[in-house]
Amino acid sequence: MSSAADIRVLTTPQELFAAAAEEVVHVTNEAVAERGRFTIALSGGSTPKSLYNLLATNARNALPWDRMYFFWGDERHVPPTHTDSNYRMVDETMLSKVPVPPGNVYRMPTENPDAAAVAEAYEATLRKFFQLQLGQFPKFDLILLGLGPDGHTASLFPGTVGLQEKFRLVIANWVEKLNTHRLTFSLPVINAARHVAFLVSGTDKATVLHSVLEENVLGEQYPAKLVQPADGNLIWLVDRAAASGLSQQK
């Protein structure tokens, strides 16, 4: 793990959510001031859900919603109305409650039963939005990530072919243990971001967090270790329960 990682241990989950919300507000206002817009790739999961809820309530008036553009770093291959959909969760928790223009929200077209076609379509969306040349990767202002108990992040699971992708922006990654494709950004896209923030909460994440941050284990086994932004900031926001296995709690 790069020594450049900024590891912040918060006492409670609520403090973690508040710190994450502060980070979003700070990076948003900085991006809008410098470039006129803010681009974010969202994550699914219970910890980000609490962050989105906080942003929709406490930070509602602190954000320039009309300058914010929302994408998803990974998604389940289910229709957007499905209960497992990350898009649906974010829409219900945050987007439907704030004044964001519908045209600023870019979900993956997962109603298409062809997972590879979904990935290709979303890659085309990214290329058009960021006006990318061949070989270029988008530079998101912020990518939010979680950490699975097996060390996966986004939908980059241990031992999956997607970990080797060097050129594609979005891939349909086959996850054998789930017997399904997951749509996900490739590692080069994640590592091209200006800011990457992991949100990790709970004692069930303590062992894997220790492995990712402090053990000399292979990234193939713990894909979160492979997240190392080339020239961006990497932040780990973790609560005390998740950090209980770390040798140094800050």
What's the rounded Cα separation, in Å, for the pair 35 and 45? 30
What is the C-alpha R_g of the chain? 17
Per-residue confidence (pLDDT) for residue 249, from 0 to 100: 60
What's the rounded Cα separation, in Å, for the pair 245 and 192? 29
CB 155 within 8 A of CB 185: no
Q: Between the CA atoms of 50, 141, 32 and 97, what dihedral angle is there, to the nearest 10 degrees?
A: -30
Domain boundary assignment for the chain? 6-245
Per-residue confidence (pLDDT) for residue 250, from 0 to 100: 52
Per-residue confidence (pLDDT) for residue 1, from 0 to 100: 40
What's the rounded Cα separation, in Å, for the pair 77 and 75? 6
Domain range 6-245, CATH architecture: 3-Layer(aba) Sandwich (3.40)
* Residues of the chain falling short of pLDDT 70: 1-3, 248-250
- Give the count of beta carbons closer than 10 Å to the beta carbon of residue 22: 14
To which residue do tokens 């062992």 refer? 207
Per-residue confidence (pLDDT) for residue 3, from 0 to 100: 45
Per-residue confidence (pLDDT) for residue 17, from 0 to 100: 97
CB 249 within 8 A of CB 236: no
* Encoded tokens for 173: 């990654």
Look up the pTM and report it. Answer: 0.97
SS3 132: coil
**15 phi/psi in degrees, rounded to 5:** -70, -35
